[in-house]
């Protein structure tokens, strides 16, 4: 059987059409293969940003080397705060403080002296987690520097001035006498009045 003859022009047109088809098919096949790695790279490049840790401010007081305000990262423990304050003094009663308790922003951490634990944080189950301010009244005539330092607005300097005033003038007869101590004005006296006794 004899094949029909095709003109040269028609054969050329068929050849061009076949090449065009193969080119388009190749692009589709290659394009699909190239998309996969791009998707994998973009999903691998995604990163989850974590919020920066919150900074906590605490007041470390009592029998520590350097009482004062300290900043700690969120998740810190009371032991970390005491370490920032230079650690306990030789007579500090660390056994009365829960060193493993988490630190709370605005917390006052009191390390009592040995033999003065009840007075340092009266009525509190754990002196290391005592809220700002003592739970019972502090006696101006028998309080130590560390106990006075636990009062709101009274730092080590003012606590020492109260002790100096007591030594120079004798026992306090009234809470109002605190007004004569340098650094304690009417506003501070009003804040301290419900927290102290002569």
What digits encode the pLDDT tens for the residues 86-109? Answer: 999 888 888 888 888 888 888 889
Total-model pTM = 0.38
Report pLDDT for 132. Answer: 43
**Which architecture, in CATH terms, is 137-198?**
Orthogonal Bundle (1.10)
Phi/psi for 71 (5° steps) reads -105, 130
Containing H/E element for 84? helix 78-84
User: What's the CA gap between 111 and 94, in Å, rounded?
Assistant: 7
What digits encode the pLDDT tens for the residues 58-93? Answer: 999 988 999 999 999 988 999 999 999 999 988 888
Report pLDDT for 197. Answer: 85
User: What's the CA gap between 135 and 114, in Å, rounded?
Assistant: 19
Burial class, 155, CB count within 10 angstroms (exposed 0-12 / middle 13-18 / buried 19+):
middle
> What is the token pair recorded at 68?
């004062």
Give the residue extent of every domain in the chain: 10-47, 50-134, 137-198
Mean pLDDT of the chain: 77
Weakest-pLDDT range from 20-29, 36-45, 46-55, 120-129: 120-129
Report pLDDT for 66. Answer: 92
pLDDT tops 50 at residue 185: yes
Report pLDDT for 94. Answer: 86
Report pLDDT for 47. Answer: 59
Report pLDDT for 123. Answer: 37
User: What's the CA gap between 149 and 60, in Å, rounded?
Assistant: 10
Containing H/E element for 138? strand 138-139
| Residue among 121, 113, 77 nearest 94 (CA) | 113
> What is the token pair recorded at 72?
């700690």
Over range 30-48, report the average pLDDT: 53
| Residue among 139, 141, 122 nearest 130 (CA) | 122
> What is the token pair recorded at 41?
């790279």
């Amino acid at each position: 059987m004899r094949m029909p003859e095709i003109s040269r022009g028609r054969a050329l047109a068929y050849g061009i059409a076949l090449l065009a088809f193969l080119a388009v098919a190749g692009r589709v096949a290659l394009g699909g293969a190239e998309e996969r790695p791009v998707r994998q790279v973009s999903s691998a490049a995604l990163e989850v940003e974590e919020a920066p840790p919150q900074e906590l401010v605490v007041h470390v007081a009592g029998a520590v080397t350097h009482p004062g305000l300290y900043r700690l990262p969120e998740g810190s423990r009371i032991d970390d705060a005491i370490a920032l304050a230079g650690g306990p003094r030789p007579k500090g009663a660390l056994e009365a403080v829960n060193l493993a308790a988490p630190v709370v922003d605005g917390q006052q951490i009191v390390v009592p002296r040995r033999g003065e634990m009840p007075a340092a944080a009266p009525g509190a189950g754990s002196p290391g987690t005592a809220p700002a301010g003592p739970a019972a009244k502090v006696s101006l005539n028998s309080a130590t520097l560390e106990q006075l330092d636990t009062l709101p607005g009274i730092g080590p300097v003012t606590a020492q001035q109260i002790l100096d005033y007591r030594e120079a003038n004798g026992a306090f007869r009234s809470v109002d006498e605190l007004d004569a101590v340098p650094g304690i004005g009417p506003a501070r006296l009003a804040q301290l009045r419900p927290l102290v006794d002569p």
